[in-house]
Amino acid sequence: MSNKILFGFHAVTVRLKTTPKSVVEIHVDTSRRDQRMRQFIERCTVAGSKLIDSDDARLQKMCGTHRHQGVVARVEPVALSRSIDDTLDELDVIDGNPLLLVLDGITDPHNLGACLRVADGAGAHAVIAPKDHAVGVNATVAKVSSGASDTVPYFMVTNLARTLNELKDRNIRVIGTSDTATQSLYDIDLSGPVALVLGAEGAGMRQLTTKTCDELVSLPMLGAVESLNVSVASGVCLYEALRQRRAKEGASRSLLSDGAQA
């Protein structure tokens, strides 16, 4: 596999923390020697990474943007789960309570990067998107995700509706978001196995995707704005699922404790 580019402090630091041996070399801007850069270089030295002094022009050429923060790394691809089935099979052994994020029609790399970051933070087990009408993971996605593109499996599937039906065959409820839904996100149980489906801002989910969902929910919008950015909406949905799961776990522990005391 060929090397790929990561840029920005967060993305490169996460790679150094998780799989330092995959870092081939790190280029740093010689004109930047502030405290943040000094601390970063110290971390690289401790990790045994190869450091190369570069200038802004070279860094821009490597990553294709001026928003590199003076840090660009050449890294080996990290192998995540090979397929959705592999991910879910592993969960059956470890946990058995999947939390998945499905993105239908997200073409902006900044939105995808932010969604991956939210998914990582909320503990989602994978993000799924169609191969058509969607963006893949590139250097911009990796930078915006602050390294989450290396930790959250991102699967691009040929037929999204078929994949959703396969999830349902595994007893995973498929919950779609829609402005026209009559029930709110906060009206349903998200504590069990669930796949949350979000469409592009404005356009929403495609018609077939909508029909494939088990249920549709809306996010309460109390102001003048009609919709949220997809990464914000993903955060609202995933963290509500996390809140409900934590509450259910807490209730279960309380019942077990009461039973032991009895």
Tell me, what's the pLDDT at 238? 97
Splitting the chain (262 residues) into consecutive groups of 10 residues, what average pLDDT does each group show?
79 84 92 91 93 93 88 82 80 74 94 95 94 88 87 93 96 94 95 95 88 96 85 96 89 57 54
This prediction has a pTM of 0.72
CATH of region 84-250: 3.40.1280.10
According to the CATH classification, is domain 4-75 in 3.90.1150.10? no
Q: One fold for both 4-75 and 84-250?
A: no
> What is the pLDDT at residue 252?
59
Question: pLDDT digits over 151-210, tens only?
Answer: 899 999 999 999 999 999 999 999 999 988 999 999 999 999 999 999 987 778 999 999
Domain spans of the chain, in order of start:
4-75, 84-250
The C-alpha atoms of residue 6 and residue 191 are separated, in whole angstroms, by 35
The predicted structure's pLDDT at residue 1: 47
* Confidence (pLDDT) at 59: 94
